[in-house]
Amino acid sequence: MQNKFGASYFLKIGLTLLVITALVAGMLAAVNMITKDKIDENNLSEQNAAIKSVYGEGDIETEEISGDFPENVGKALSVKQNGESAGYCFEVNTSGYGGNIKMMVGINSDGSVRGIGIVEMSETAGLGSRVSDETYLSQYGGKSTTLTVSDIDVITGSTVSSKAIMNGVNAALDAFASTEGSDTATEGADGATESTDASTESTDASTESTDASTEGSDEE
């Protein structure tokens, strides 16, 4: 019994753990090898489906662009539809009621919202999940200024989910503003942004700060 806590005791325990973790890691590596391609394929087709729901039918070409975008903009694509430039599409991550919402927001070359496609979300079924309904999403079409709650019809019982989509659209609009050639679009939006500022005092801090940044960029 004296030897119980000797070196061999710890060696034995350590080695057992090592063997078990190595076994599990090996199994995971094997499963990963089998499933990785399929998972990537699924994610890509999901993203393409979302882009399609924004731009409709037609030959769509996308090209990834880089730039200084807000943190929650995951991917920025410049979109060509049937060979003609059709603005930009931003992949935005926004936090809803049930976790992350990943969506594609299409912005026309003139800075107005083309449409929204939800890629991934886990909002409550029957409540928050209704933000992916066409009736809710279509109201964003044509908007070009940073939105506040008073600009949209929020879904009853799903304020958090509705606002999450709104914040996502705002992030996409911000991202668009930071791409080249968007000066005219933001200048036109200037007056409208200020008036919404004054009308809603309930706007949360994050929206206000985005408002401020839009105004800042206008003055340049």
Binds another protein (CB under 8 A): choice among 8, 11, 39, 133: 39
The separation between CA 85 and the C-alpha centre of its own chain, rounded to angstroms, equals 22
* Residue among 44 and 212 whose Cβ is closer to another protein: 44
* 95 counts as binding another protein under rule CB under 8 A: no
* 12 counts as binding another protein under rule CB under 8 A: yes
* Residue among 9 and 212 whose Cβ is closer to another protein: 9
C-alpha to C-alpha distance for 67 and 53, rounded to whole angstroms: 25
3-state secondary structure 142-189: CCCCCCCHHHCCCCCCCHHHHHHHHHHHHHHHHHHHCCCCCHHHHHHH
Shortest Å, Cβ 79 to another protein: 24
CB neighbours of 82 closer than 8 A, spacing ≥ 6?
58, 59
Shortest Å, Cβ 215 to another protein: 37
C-alpha to C-alpha distance for 72 and 93, rounded to whole angstroms: 5
Binds another protein (CB under 8 A): choice among 8, 11, 16, 209: 16
Pair 108, 89: CB distance under 8 Å: no
Q: Give the N- to C-terminal CA distance of the chain in Å, as an integer.
A: 79
Shortest Å, Cβ 170 to another protein: 24
* Residue among 32 and 184 whose Cβ is closer to another protein: 32
Instruction: Specify the amino acid at residue 150.
Output: S
C-alpha to C-alpha distance for 186 and 204, rounded to whole angstroms: 22
* Residue among 28 and 212 whose Cβ is closer to another protein: 28
C-alpha to C-alpha distance for 184 and 181, rounded to whole angstroms: 8
Binders in 105-164 for another protein, by CB under 8 A: 120-122, 124-127, 157
Shortest Å, Cβ 6 to another protein: 14
* 18 counts as binding another protein under rule CB under 8 A: no
Helix (H, G, I), strand (E, B) or coil at 84: strand
Stretch that binds another protein, among 27-35, 49-57, 71-79, 208-216 (CB under 8 A): 27-35
* 46 counts as binding another protein under rule CB under 8 A: yes
CB neighbours of 147 closer than 8 A, spacing ≥ 6?
140, 166, 169, 170, 173, 196
Binding interface with another protein (CB under 8 A): 12-13, 16-17, 20-21, 24-25, 27-28, 31-32, 34-35, 38-39, 42, 46, 98-99, 120-122, 124-127, 157
